[in-house]
Copies of this chain bind each other. A is one copy, B any other.
Amino acid sequence: MTYCVALRLNKGLVFMSDTRTNAGVDNISTFRKMFTWQQPGERVITLMTAGNLATTQSVVSMLDERTKVPAERKPSLLEVPTMFQAARLVGETLRETIQMNSSTGLSADSVFGATIIMGGQIKGMPPRLFMIYPEGNFVEASEDTPHFQIGETKYGRPILVRAYDRDMSFEQAAKLLMVSFDSTMKANLSVGAPLDLQVYRTDDFAICHEQRIDQSDPYFQTIAAGWGEALKRAFQSLPDPSF
């Protein structure tokens, strides 16, 4: 499993992803699931992936043009004129990769599918956030639904929905994501630290803050321990029924 969340705020975009991959509970590894393409001053595009690791790694390699020697690589993601076309490019690459694997006639225990969250900004246009499906099509975050989750989305959703506020600061957003990830990691062994955090401030055209958060990170430990207590206090603050 996996857990990735992206928030669209008034100030910009915030991304967080876990790094655990697993094929059964007895076969776990650590892989980065957050990838960024940037042309400082002009564009930043960040992807987070969930699903079959061979598929997602292949998609990222194709987008990176790793079939070419390093000197000749000019990733199209750095050249498409709009975020909409970037989403289309990623969607097509994803669909083709899945089709290529599926059409060999070989089958795997798990399917080849994957889902991708893509967010970023290209100069002259506002930041945009997309969720891209295995079929290659995609939806965009809106005022009504300003965040996307992929992977193990359920445990961490109630707090996300309730504490999210589009006016929140990047620090508060990072805290919210840590609470949401902590609830998920406590409930599903296949979501695990370290976590990758990335903050993009609107019109910066460069990453504002990037951080890898280990299980032993002092702030993360404060949140993990403090949230349980805070939840209990919140629970106790509600009136008891009488019967």
Residues of A within 8 A of B (CB): 154-155, 157-159, 161-163, 169-172, 174-176, 178-179, 183, 186-187, 199, 209, 211, 219, 222-223, 226-228, 230-235, 237-243
* Pair A237/B233 contact, Cβ less than 8 Å: yes
The A interface, classified by DSSP as helix, strand, loop or mixed, is helix
Q: Collect the chain B residues with CB atoms within 8 Å of residue A233's CB.
A: 234, 237
* Pair B157/A187 contact, Cβ less than 8 Å: yes
A-B contacts, 16 of them at CB < 8 A, read A155-B157, A159-B231, A161-B187, A162-B232, A169-B240, A171-B243, A175-B238, A175-B241, A179-B235, A209-B243, A219-B241, A226-B237, A227-B234, A230-B235, A230-B237, A234-B234
A154 vs B188: C-alpha distance when bound (angstroms)? 10
- Chain copies in complex: 2
Q: Collect the chain B residues with CB atoms within 8 Å of residue A222's CB.
A: 238-239
Q: Collect the chain B residues with CB atoms within 8 Å of residue A226's CB.
A: 237-239
**Please, which residue of chain B has its CB at the minimum distance from the CB of A179?**
B235
Q: Collect the chain B residues with CB atoms within 8 Å of residue A158's CB.
A: 155, 158-159, 183, 186-187, 231
Name the contact of A243 in the complex, choosing from B187, B211, B230, B239 (C-beta under 8 A).
B211
